[in-house]
Amino acid sequence: LRAHCAPVTVDNGVVIGSVTAFEDISTHKEIDRMKSDFVAMVAHELKSPLASIEQMIYALQIGCEHESGAACSTMHNRITVRTRDLLSMIDNLLNLSKMENGTVEFNLEPIRGHEVLDHILDVITLQAKNRGITITYNPSEEEWWFNVDYDHIRSACMNIISNAVKYTPDGGKVDISTSISGGFANIVVKDSGIGISKEDLPHIFDRFFRVKGKATRHITGSGLGLSLVKEVVDAHQGYIEVNSELEKGTTFTLSFPITPQPAMEEKATIESQ
């Protein structure tokens, strides 16, 4: 409690008492504490990849005089990957804070569902191939449209699909399918990866949350991807479902309300027939 005191005086200036108002500041304190926890968390998350980049640059400076070209190029690759991780984490953070302040702009337009997935698959299939991961894609027979911000939806779907690849050991499988039911389009991403325990599952959408353990130790990430996915899905009146079993795999389902096929598209389809 914070006390605000004021003296009560009479006409001749003599103090005859005081008035005290008590203000409950526990909520302010809690918000202040959350803000400083958040700043500490961000500082920590930025510091560790930067420290490792600095070490690698140092090792490169010393090592390149003695090491082979191959060793130097591996080091260069690691620096590139860590820098990209860092940039994507900063992008995610900026987007998250914009979404929270309500300053993010969602430019909604009718988008063909299959178009979003086709673009993502082009990128991800190549990455998966390098690790011997098979990606299968079963789009719904029927075409569907949803009224969405293309960039945000693409990044949400990309986060889910790239996580599926990232958390699946080499040689595994990722199955992607889409379906329509009850006015919603469902995007289902099923992997044969490391899975998530029952204890960790409720926390995966929290900022900076990453499962700690042997299976995830060597996988890089910021723990921001899924919190961003959740914000994007909520902003589009969609919902997310997750089912997972340790060492068996995980299935994420993103569902979004569908909209009728736009008139222009209808015309283009009729003309092309």
Query: What is the binding site for ligand ADP (CB under 6 A)?
Result: 159, 163-164, 167, 191, 193-196, 204, 209-211, 216, 221-226, 250
State the burial class of residue 264 (Cβ atoms within 10 Å of its Cβ: 0-12, 13-18, 19+): exposed
**Three-class secondary structure of residue 169 per DSSP:** coil
Decide whether 52 or 147 has the Cβ nearer to ligand ADP. Answer: 52
Tell me how far, at minimum, the Cβ of 94 lies from ligand ADP, in Å: 15
**Residue 175 · residue 134 · CB < 8 Å:** no
Decide whether 150 or 209 has the Cβ nearer to ligand ADP. Answer: 209
Rounded CA-CA distance 202/65 in Å is 49
CA distances in angstroms from 159 to 68, 72, 132, 247, 266, listed in the order given: 36, 30, 20, 21, 31
Decide whether 167 or 256 has the Cβ nearer to ligand ADP. Answer: 167
Decide whether 43 or 263 has the Cβ nearer to ligand ADP. Answer: 43
Structure tokens at 134: 């098979």
Give the ranges where 217-262 is alpha helix by DSSP (H): 225-235
Decide whether 184 or 252 has the Cβ nearer to ligand ADP. Answer: 252
CB-based closest residue to ligand ADP: 221
Closest CA to 265 of 60, 124, 112, 147: 112
Rounded CA-CA distance 119/174 in Å is 16
Is the Cα torsion angle 228, 232, 235, 238 positive or negative in sign? negative
Tell me how far, at minimum, the Cβ of 236 lies from ligand ADP, in Å: 18
On the CB side of 233, CA atoms within 13 Å amount to: 25
Decide whether 82 or 210 has the Cβ nearer to ligand ADP. Answer: 210
Tell me how far, at minimum, the Cβ of 251 lies from ligand ADP, in Å: 9
